[in-house]
Structure 1
Amino acid sequence: MPEQQWTLATTEQPPEWFIQAVKQYTPTSGALFAAQLLWQRGIRDKPQLAAFVNTKTYQPASPFEFGQEMHLAVERLQQARDAGEKVAIWGDFDADGITSTAVLWDGLGQFFTQNTQLIYYIPNRLTESHGLNCQGIEKLAKQGFQLIVTCDTGSTNISEIIYAKQLGIDVIVTDHHTLPPERPPVTAIINPRYLPQTHQLFHLSGVAVAYKLVEAFYQTLPNIPQQPLQDLLDLVAVGLIADLVQLSGDCRYLAQLGIGRLQEDFKKPPGERRRPGVGRLLELCQKSGDRPTDISFGLGPRINAVSRIQGDASFCVELLTSRDQKRVKELAEVTELANTRRKSLQKDVAQQVAQKLSKMDLSTTSVIVLEDPQWAVGVLGLVAGQVAQETGRPTILLSTEGVGAGEESSQSPIPNPQSLARGSARSVNSVDLYQLVKDQAHLLHRFGGHPYAAGLSLPVENIPLFTEAINQRLRQSLGGATLTPTVQADLAVTVADLGKELFLELKLLEPCGMGNPVPKLLIENCWFENAWHRNQQDSQGKKVQYIKAEFDIRDDSTRSPFPGVWWGHYKDELPLGRCDCIAELDYNTFKKRYEIRLIAVRSRQQSAISNQQSALILDWRNPLLEKDSALSTQDLAVVIKECPTSWDDLRVWLRRSLHNQQPLALAWSKPDPKPPEQIWLTLVGIAKYLSRTNLSVTRVELLEKLGIGDQALLLGLRSLKYLGFKITRQDRFLLFTQGSAIESTLAEAGISQFLAAVREEQFQQQYFADVPLSTIEAIVHIS
């Protein structure tokens, strides 16, 4: 395996007034560690701090911020209720999809009779795929359903939505995944990706979008529901945290409230709990529900495990919503058993992958692509994520066993399942894996996902060509840079710092997630004692091949050792003698003790911590920073003021800074993009104005006016030609004249390509606005 690069985040000393403001929320501690973390993560004034920490000072958005689409959805639901129509909830099989379904089941169940007027459908992970499918829609039509409400899925299922319409079924989509170039032919689509990227609802996961629909329906018909809307918040928290979305804006607010509800319910005797199934699951995983990690390491993996092992996860909705004590106890134990089987299966596949990796030359490999006929599709995404983190390389694992559709997004039936390899891909170091895979679409049967994760299937005979092509594509985009596995520590502490006081300080940042990760602590010059390991056992007492090492950590700061765990490792993997480690501080509810969770460890001889304070890249992106003094010294740095849209753009600037022997300062503002459709109309308006006035314009002026890049502009100009505009170049100026020969078919396709290109550019700009400095350093530095 390539050697891991460790970095330590810049630990800028916050002002004393800010430390005192933080101390109001942690009165039993010095508050310095929490203040440092909050300061370096952009929380830099008292109103921000209050809204971040205290839900009572945060102002959530109305569900009707979704505009006309939310009104259309509520009207159609009200029509269905008044007419006594049958409504089907179409969910998904992961934790976000299961909790989304449960929220709609409980929420819409206040307005429609469950099991007669209202049902839910969860696709089978191993025989179906994400999204709508025509067979399921046909079955619903035969049963007399006239409305489908999707959750966590459906935005790109155009052909399936058209098919449902032909069968007399209306579709309301609630989702948060990638949007199609044009609005799908649905009754309503509620998807936060239609909102500006700076909107407080933009990062909602599937379950939070479903909650907003229920909230709007509650507000429209306030006298009908018998149960309070807030009863759904615990389910919202589970889905939000399990789906690893950015916990900012309303996402953070809903997660905070939901964790409070979860903990409140768990404290009750089992017979009085509102969600006895959730309570039983927490008991089985030895958690109490008061921490986000109780979800990310406890509830989330267990819910996900059911479909990974069994395929059908429908009963998980009953587990989360039923009040039947005996029934949910049985279902919780089935879920726990599936999770232990998942751990064992994951360990087996990981060991087999490690054997294959040992025979590869990673120095010449940019994307790891491995296949095996014995691998179970359900756990490939988990193992691919592990390998990507360990190697610093995007990883694609494929099974050629031909047992079902796997994790990919489905648009058409599989012609010959035996000829297809299916699997999962996971990214690392912020390589846009979705785009990499999409570039090889001609070799694939189907694929779907997002920049960090994707699912795919392809003919087995295409695997060698796919492997070669995707590696070549990434090598070209990296431009000579080396991919290195990187782990960043946020704070340097000693063993003496560990314990309740520091834990309560760091808890101020919870719930953590993307954009606000769990604080990672660097402990230098330490050593381990009393180490041991054991196999985990399932609920039936059987051993599973999943290891956990336990130990005491010590250093020279105190005579008292501190306990810790290292999941998935043997005690023999701990280095002997003095070492450095990176860990997270945790509280073990079962053992009632504070402990560290080991993330990475190396001996002192290997250790080489890179402190970002001496790095060549300066981060001036945060608009809350007092940048006037910094920017006044920009003669001493190469300053990027325009937000890039690719890693290649950044590398050009880095090479310039190296040539000038100056630091590279990232000084672009957070983008506030206009809707792509509005940009297109602006371009058409400019073309009409220039053709009417015989004035000219430069390419740079167009780019600045429209706020787009060269590729999108090229597609836009091509589309204008299809609309009858003649564009001629005179020196560096463009002249427009309007004719009458319109190629409508080509124009329609061209406009769709232009809109898609603008959306992609905007997505990339948003990405570069938020990507951590450590990631930028790891990617753009040339080896």
Structure 2
Amino acid sequence: MQWILATTEEPPAWFIQLVRQYAPASSSGLFAAQLLWQRGIQDKSQLAAFLNHKTYQAASPFEFGQEMHLAMARLQQARQAGDKVAIWGDFDADGITSTSVLWDGLGQFFTQHQQLTYYIPNRLKESHGLNETGINNLAAQDCKLIVTCDTGSTNIDEIIYAQHLGIDVIVTDHHTLPAERPPVTAIINPRYLAKEHPLYNLSGVAVAYKLVEALYQTLPDIPQDPLENLLDLVAVGLIADLVQLSGDCRYLAQLGIQRLQTDLQQPPALRRRPGVGRLLELCQKSGDRPTDISFGLGPRINAVSRIQGDASFCVELLTSRDIKRCSELAEVTELANTRRKSLQKDVQTQVNQKLTQLDLSTTSVIVLEDPQWPAGVLGLVAGQVAQETGRPTILLSTEGNGELARGSARSINSVDLYQLVKDQAYLLHRFGGHPYAAGLSLPVENIPLFRDAINQQLRQSLGGINLTPTVQADIVVTVADLGKELFLELKLLEPCGMGNPVPKLFIKNCWFENTWHRNQQDSQGKKVQYIKTDFDIRDDSTRNPFPGIWWGHYKEELPVGKCDCIAELDYNTFKKRYEIRLIAVRSSENSTPQTQHSANILDWRNLSASLVPNSPSLILEECPTHWDDLRAWWRRSLYNHQQLALAWSKPNHQPPKEIWLTLVGIAKYLSRTNQLVTRVQILEKLGISDRALFLGIKALKYWGFIVTRQDRHLQFTWNSSNVLETKGDVAVAEFLAAVSEEQFQQQYFAEVPLSTIVAMVNQI
């Protein structure tokens, strides 16, 4: 594993003073200021909005535009007509909390269990999204309206099927959009908004909350409970779903954690969420930290469907006021999580055995299958393997009738897994997901073909990229720095998540004492195959040791003697102590972590031309479409001893179909006027690459155009007898796919954090 240490940029004194105003009185604020500065929070207004939610202006739910108005109209109609309404949720933590938010929120307007019901698919029998069996069940109950949450955007066939049964559909979701608007009454999905919009990164639960917020504003005299009572559920779903916590996501998470903590301070009999409180007690968390959700509540809610399939009772767990019932459900949930840990450990061991038979030097994508693996935990294990190997990982279970394999895929940062799997759709039965994770099923007989095809595609798209896994540390500390002051200072950055990860600390020349490990126990005292090592960490900065834990590892795995480690600082509510959570460790005999050369890379992206400084730097103005392109420029800057300035602007893309029509229009005009054109002129007009233009000209030839070269110019003529429509359609599809891929890559390079760019170009 390659260790990377983020460049420690010294923030200016005025910025440190600003941060100190927010930091605990006993703290210098220097570490927090350094982290905030490194993460792009570099002026007073940014800092205030980031650290103090009271200064943040939340976006209106009606910024979803006409779609939200259509949803409000249909919900009002349902209320007036007495239509039966069904919430269609999903079985993961985001889907369960989304369903719970709609159950409580819409329950202010529709009588629960009479006019309002909910349906959650069984993970082990059904897939994500709408399905005909469930729709038939709702039709039999005389349901007239389905409101989805965290799902539904691409279920075109199922939506049409529901309409044939007389059921309207309102979709609330945050997943990938279909090519055209689905035939729904309304669709509330932030993917329709600009990427810069503060609502763009909302998770499913936050979109559901925005729907309820809009209904509260539309019919303000009806609800009896404050809208804010839903925010604790919103925070649980947001943080458990690992969305980027910026804009309204961060704001809602901040408010929700406060709301959760306020409720937990009440005696159990007075709590609004006794089920949440009991679940936190069982996992020994207090509920005031995002990690209490990401390591406590989230995994437990997810575990129910992974082990039992049916997670419907989790909605009751999160929303019921019946203390006895909630306690029973919380204990069932805790036992499911214990079982999940044990299964996950077993599968991890089996996967590791299979990995020893693979040559990772020739493997770009790990694809493994086994008839005994339970499908519910494959995504978790695939995520572990991807992180440890630096390779996208797909694990498949062939249990059951043996004809269809089902599994999960997890990616590493630089690989768009969704696109990678989508390109093999001809071998698949079903698939869905996003760039970091996907679920899929395929005929067992297709697995060898799928493995070869997906490996070949990734090798071609990444070229000679080094897939060595990396771990990045943010700041350098000593053991003497560890403790309450540093913890409270780093807590300023919470809630952490994608785009704002938990700070990772690099501790050099340390050693471990009092090491011991044991199997974890479930709530009934039974041991499970899930290991945790406890230790004390020491270095020369202090005589006092500091406690820590290392999940999933034995004490023998800790190096003997001096070593370096990367860790996160945490507070253990159960033991009432500050401790580190070990992320990576190695002997100090190894080289020190590679420092990122971010000082040699200037980020001038999206600056207007008038603001780009005059500089002797090597300036890259054209947005790349491939890491190899960027690495070539990086090597050139190193050779010339120059800084590399990234100066491309965010692309303003035309839809691929419009680009194709423009190319056809150019060809028609040139054939009619007999004018010549250069390849560069066409590229500038269309904003595409040479490869895409080559495919475009290939497609034009099937549509009757003859393209000839005269010196450096191209001449277009048209002959109707040369039209081959079938081949032409295929060629046009190849052109559109190539343009779409280029646009996706350019969009990625326009927004990818500088820290990621630095890490990737250093993998030469």
Contact map agreement 1:149 1:174 (CA 8 A) in 2: yes
Q: 1:627 to 1:337 in 2, by over 3 A?
A: farther
Counterpart of 2:485? 501
- The yes-or-no answer on 1:380 pairing with 2:372 is no
Q: 1:629 to 1:142 in 2, by over 3 A?
A: closer
- The yes-or-no answer on 1:765 pairing with 2:746 is yes
Q: Any residues of structure 2 matched to 1:68-83 within 5 Å, and which?
A: 68-83=66-81
Counterpart of 2:221? 223
Task: Name the SS for the 1:354 alignment partner.
Answer: helix
- The yes-or-no answer on 1:574 pairing with 2:555 is no
User: Aligned to 1:22, which of 19, 22, 42?
Assistant: 19
Deviation at 1:463, TM superposition (A): 1.8
Deviation at 1:336, TM superposition (A): 0.5
Distance (Å, rounded) in 1 between the aligned partners of 2:458 and 2:432: 19
Deviation at 1:19, TM superposition (A): 0.6
Task: Name the SS for the 1:130 alignment partner.
Answer: coil
> In structure 1, what residue type is equivalent to 2:601?
L
Distance (Å, rounded) in 2 between the aligned partners of 1:657 and 1:532: 49
Deviation at 1:468, TM superposition (A): 2.1
Deviation at 1:596, TM superposition (A): 0.6
Deviation at 1:359, TM superposition (A): 2.5
Counterpart of 2:212? 214
User: Aligned to 1:143, which of 134, 141, 165?
Assistant: 141
Distance (Å, rounded) in 2 between the aligned partners of 1:577 and 1:262: 44
Deviation at 1:603, TM superposition (A): 0.7
Counterpart of 1:58? 56
Counterpart of 2:5? 8
Counterpart of 1:103? 101
Q: 1:478 to 1:713 in 2, by over 3 A?
A: closer
- The yes-or-no answer on 1:88 pairing with 2:86 is yes
Task: Name the SS for the 1:418 alignment partner.
Answer: coil
Counterpart of 1:633? 616
Deviation at 1:138, TM superposition (A): 1.8
Distance (Å, rounded) in 2 between the aligned partners of 1:472 and 1:753: 18
Task: Name the SS for the 2:333 alignment partner.
Answer: helix
Counterpart of 2:360? 362
Task: Name the SS for the 1:24 alignment partner.
Answer: helix
TM-score scaled by length of structure 2: 0.92
Distance (Å, rounded) in 1 between the aligned partners of 2:745 and 2:498: 16
Counterpart of 2:411? 427
Distance (Å, rounded) in 2 between the aligned partners of 1:737 and 1:181: 31
Distance (Å, rounded) in 2 between the aligned partners of 1:632 and 1:622: 15
User: Aligned to 1:525, which of 489, 492, 509?
Assistant: 509
The CA deviation string for residues 580-636 of structure 1, in whole angstroms up to 9 with x for no partner, is: 000001111111111111000001112431011478x614156699996875121xx
Comparing both chains, which one has the higher relative contact order based on Cα–Cα distances under 8 Å and sequence gaps of 6 or more? 1
Q: 1:625 to 1:708 in 2, by over 3 A?
A: closer
Q: 1:17 to 1:159 in 2, by over 3 A?
A: same
Distance (Å, rounded) in 1 between the aligned partners of 2:343 and 2:587: 31
Distance (Å, rounded) in 1 between the aligned partners of 2:690 and 2:72: 41
Q: 1:20 to 1:659 in 2, by over 3 A?
A: closer
Distance (Å, rounded) in 2 between the aligned partners of 1:695 and 1:229: 65
Contact map agreement 1:481 1:781 (CA 8 A) in 2: no
The aligned length equals 762
Distance (Å, rounded) in 1 between the aligned partners of 2:391 and 2:99: 34
Counterpart of 2:449? 465
Deviation at 1:766, TM superposition (A): 3.4
Deviation at 1:471, TM superposition (A): 1.8
Task: Name the SS for the 2:125 alignment partner.
Answer: coil
Contact map agreement 2:232 2:260 (CA 8 A) in 1: yes
Q: 1:556 to 1:629 in 2, by over 3 A?
A: farther
User: Aligned to 1:134, which of 132, 135, 141?
Assistant: 132
Q: 1:441 to 1:571 in 2, by over 3 A?
A: same
- The yes-or-no answer on 1:112 pairing with 2:110 is yes
> In structure 2, what residue type is equivalent to 1:586?
D
The CA deviation string for residues 526-563 of structure 1, in whole angstroms up to 9 with x for no partner, is: 01111111111111111111111111111111111111
Deviation at 1:642, TM superposition (A): 2.7
**After alignment, is 464-473 or 520-529 more displaced?**
464-473
Distance (Å, rounded) in 1 between the aligned partners of 2:260 and 2:717: 62
Q: 1:343 to 1:173 in 2, by over 3 A?
A: same
Deviation at 1:361, TM superposition (A): 2.1
> In structure 2, what residue type is equivalent to 1:644?
P
Q: 1:757 to 1:176 in 2, by over 3 A?
A: farther
Task: Name the SS for the 1:75 alignment partner.
Answer: helix
Counterpart of 1:406? none
Deviation at 1:500, TM superposition (A): 1.1
Contact map agreement 1:534 1:547 (CA 8 A) in 2: yes
> In structure 2, what residue type is equivalent to 1:84?
G
The CA deviation string for residues 334-382 of structure 1, in whole angstroms up to 9 with x for no partner, is: 0000001000100111111111112222222221111111111100110
Contact map agreement 1:483 1:779 (CA 8 A) in 2: no
Deviation at 1:693, TM superposition (A): 9.9
User: Unpaired runs of 5+ in structure 2?
Assistant: none
Distance (Å, rounded) in 1 between the aligned partners of 2:456 and 2:656: 31
The CA deviation string for residues 173-200 of structure 1, in whole angstroms up to 9 with x for no partner, is: 1111111111111111111111111111
Contact map agreement 2:411 2:417 (CA 8 A) in 1: yes
> In structure 2, what residue type is equivalent to 1:462?
N
Deviation at 1:710, TM superposition (A): 5.8
Distance (Å, rounded) in 1 between the aligned partners of 2:728 and 2:166: 32
Counterpart of 1:409? none
Distance (Å, rounded) in 2 between the aligned partners of 1:309 and 1:677: 45
Distance (Å, rounded) in 2 between the aligned partners of 1:501 and 1:77: 50
Distance (Å, rounded) in 1 between the aligned partners of 2:730 and 2:65: 28
Distance (Å, rounded) in 2 between the aligned partners of 1:743 and 1:116: 59
Contact map agreement 2:596 2:762 (CA 8 A) in 1: no
Distance (Å, rounded) in 1 between the aligned partners of 2:142 and 2:390: 51
Q: 1:169 to 1:17 in 2, by over 3 A?
A: same
Contact map agreement 2:702 2:725 (CA 8 A) in 1: yes
Task: Name the SS for the 2:318 alignment partner.
Answer: helix
- The yes-or-no answer on 1:37 pairing with 2:35 is yes
Counterpart of 2:269? 271
> In structure 2, what residue type is equivalent to 1:246?
Q
Distance (Å, rounded) in 1 between the aligned partners of 2:642 and 2:173: 45
Identity across the alignment (%) = 78
User: Unpaired runs of 5+ in structure 1?
Assistant: 403-416
Counterpart of 2:170? 172
User: Aligned to 2:326, which of 322, 325, 328?
Assistant: 328
- The yes-or-no answer on 1:584 pairing with 2:568 is yes
Counterpart of 1:446? 430
Distance (Å, rounded) in 2 between the aligned partners of 1:514 and 1:359: 34
> In structure 2, what residue type is equivalent to 1:597?
R
Q: 1:277 to 1:667 in 2, by over 3 A?
A: same
Task: Name the SS for the 1:514 alignment partner.
Answer: coil
Q: 1:677 to 1:47 in 2, by over 3 A?
A: farther
Q: Any residues of structure 2 matched to 1:340-359 within 5 Å, and which?
A: 340-359=338-357
- The yes-or-no answer on 1:618 pairing with 2:588 is no
Task: Give the alignment's Cα RMSD to 1 decimal.
Answer: 3.2
Counterpart of 2:466? 482
Deviation at 1:661, TM superposition (A): 5.9
> In structure 2, what residue type is equivalent to 1:15?
P
Deviation at 1:747, TM superposition (A): 10
Task: Name the SS for the 2:22 alignment partner.
Answer: coil
User: Aligned to 1:155, which of 131, 153, 156?
Assistant: 153
Counterpart of 1:646? 626
Counterpart of 1:595? 579
Contact map agreement 1:197 1:673 (CA 8 A) in 2: no
Contact map agreement 2:605 2:750 (CA 8 A) in 1: no
Contact map agreement 2:674 2:715 (CA 8 A) in 1: no
Deviation at 1:469, TM superposition (A): 2.1
Contact map agreement 1:536 1:548 (CA 8 A) in 2: yes
Q: Any residues of structure 2 matched to 1:662-677 within 5 Å, and which?
A: 662-671=642-651
Distance (Å, rounded) in 1 between the aligned partners of 2:648 and 2:78: 49
Distance (Å, rounded) in 2 between the aligned partners of 1:390 and 1:602: 14
Deviation at 1:763, TM superposition (A): 3.7
Deviation at 1:306, TM superposition (A): 0.3
User: Aligned to 1:510, which of 489, 494, 497?
Assistant: 494
Q: Any residues of structure 2 matched to 1:388-407 within 5 Å, and which?
A: 388-402=386-400
Contact map agreement 2:692 2:738 (CA 8 A) in 1: yes
Deviation at 1:700, TM superposition (A): 4.8
